[in-house]
Amino acid sequence: MSELRGFYSPGLVALSVLIAILVSSAALDLTNRVTFASALRSILRQDPDVVFVGEIRDLETAEVAVQASLTGHLVLATLHANDAVGAIARFTDLGVDRGKIATTLRGAVAQRLARRVCPHCGQLVVGSTTAEEAPLATPYGVQPVVRAVGCDRCGKTGMGSDDLTNAASTPHLLLVDDDPVARGIARAVLEKNGFRVSQAEDGAAALERLDGSPDFALMVLDVEMPRMTGREVLARVRQSVHTAALPVLVLTGSVADEIEAQLMDEGADAYIRKPLEPARFVARVKAALRRAGS
Ligand SMILES: [Zn+2]
């Protein structure tokens, strides 16, 4: 939708026939004879400047959209095709006149769903890519962060899995601690309690992980780390629009109350002292998630 903001100007009237109608169009059709195309027609009577059409999937809707476009409306719509150029073939398949396609179609942009690496067998790419991977990665100039492997749960494909939906509903936590032993303990405790855990061994790695994966529900952050301290990480997280609202639970070895007050003041949502007491740790994590509404 961000591209659509480019069309905005004060006084612009935009109306849409969106997904809700798409989902219920069959039912509507039987009861009230309201179709996607008839809804679109009634919207056009209100003479909007811009019309969003959720999906063009029949000739009737396509023709109303074409008509709207011919009469000076900006029509933004989606349709199913294999690629952007395929939009033209799709319109002709639907039965739209080629001349009308030529006069009304201004552009087509392809969007496709990205496959996700299976969460059960995906491996972090540490160091360089293999000889097989390199030719795939180099044309894009990007170093992949995760490698698809294949396991029983994803049918050896390395992609997706039956319980991707479960994975999505399980809170994904980012655990940041430079001490591998402490990190291992915290991870074991969290995983035992049903959380998905990703780890970072220092502040820079944490920021990188947050940047590449927006689905973290909470960050567990050690305060005393070399190079970038937890407080610096916290400040950076709070400054970024993408992570400003991310709940952060800080781990502190300090016993000074004023340090903890200061951390809360700097944007921590909760804190817990090391060494970790598992039950208390999990309770704090759950409380912070609850407050954040996840
Ligand atoms: Zn797998």
Q: What is the CATH number of the domain that holds 95?
A: 3.40.50.300
CATH (domain of 277): 3.40.50.2300
Q: Which residues pair with 248 in a beta bridge?
A: 219
Answer yes or no: do 100 and 129 share one domain: no
Higher pLDDT, 210 or 7: 210
Q: Tell me the CA–centroid distance for residue 203 and ligand 1, in Å.
A: 29
Q: Tell me the CA–centroid distance for residue 162 and ligand 1, in Å.
A: 10
Amino acid in position 251 = L
Q: Give residue 13's pLDDT.
A: 60
Question: Rounded to an integer, what distance in angstroms lies between the CA atom of residue 178 and that of residue 183?
Answer: 8
Whether the CB-CB separation of 267 and 234 falls below 8 Å is answered with yes
Report how many domains make up the chain. Answer: 3
CA atoms within 13 A on the CB side of 76: 17
* Domain assignment of residue 278, yes or no: yes
Answer yes or no: do 197 and 283 share one domain: yes
Residue 278 pLDDT level (bands cut at 50, 70, 90): very high
Question: Rounded to an integer, what distance in angstroms lies between the CA atom of residue 216 and that of residue 110?
Answer: 28
Q: Tell me the CA–centroid distance for residue 187 and ligand 1, in Å.
A: 21
Answer yes or no: do 50 and 93 share one domain: yes
Tokens of 166: 């479960």
Residue 77 in 3-state DSSP? strand
pLDDT digits 0-9 by tens, 87-118: 999 999 999 999 999 999 999 998 877 778 88
* Domain assignment of residue 203, yes or no: yes
pLDDT digits 0-9 by tens, 209-235: 888 766 899 999 999 888 888 999 999
Q: Give residue 41's pLDDT.
A: 76
* Domain assignment of residue 4, yes or no: no
Question: Rounded to an integer, what distance in angstroms lies between the CA atom of residue 156 and that of residue 150?
Answer: 4
Answer yes or no: do 120 and 218 share one domain: no
Closest CA to 192 of 285, 78, 68, 87: 285
Tokens of 28: 């509507």
Q: Which residues pair with 199 in a beta bridge?
A: 175
Q: Tell me the CA–centroid distance for residue 170 and ligand 1, in Å.
A: 17
Q: Give residue 28's pLDDT.
A: 44
Which backbone phi and psi does 263 adopt, to 5 degrees? -60, -45
Amino acid in position 57 = R
Tokens of 144: 């992949």
pLDDT digits 0-9 by tens, 40-96: 777 777 777 888 887 888 888 898 889 889 988 889 898 888 889 999 999 999 999
Tokens of 14: 């935009």
pLDDT digits 0-9 by tens, 19-43: 334 434 444 444 555 666 777 777 7
Whether the CB-CB separation of 37 and 55 falls below 8 Å is answered with no
Residue 10 in 3-state DSSP? coil
Residue 11 pLDDT level (bands cut at 50, 70, 90): low
In the numeric block, the tokens 């011919």 are attached to 70
Q: Tell me the CA–centroid distance for residue 117 and ligand 1, in Å.
A: 8
Whether the CB-CB separation of 254 and 260 falls below 8 Å is answered with yes
Instruction: Quote the domain boundaries for residue 163.
Output: 114-167
Residue-level length of the chain: 294
Q: Tell me the CA–centroid distance for residue 172 and ligand 1, in Å.
A: 17
Question: Rounded to an integer, what distance in angstroms lies between the CA atom of residue 50 and that of residue 60?
Answer: 19
Q: Tell me the CA–centroid distance for residue 157 and ligand 1, in Å.
A: 7
* Domain assignment of residue 269, yes or no: yes
Tokens of 264: 């809360």
DSSP letter for 237, please: H
Q: Tell me the CA–centroid distance for residue 294 and ligand 1, in Å.
A: 26
Strand order in the sheet with 74-77: 14-17, 50-53, 74-77
Closest CA to 93 of 103, 79, 106, 78: 79
CA torsion sign for 173, 178, 180, 183 is: negative
Q: Tell me the CA–centroid distance for residue 123 and ligand 1, in Å.
A: 10
pLDDT digits 0-9 by tens, 161-190: 544 444 456 889 999 999 998 899 999 999
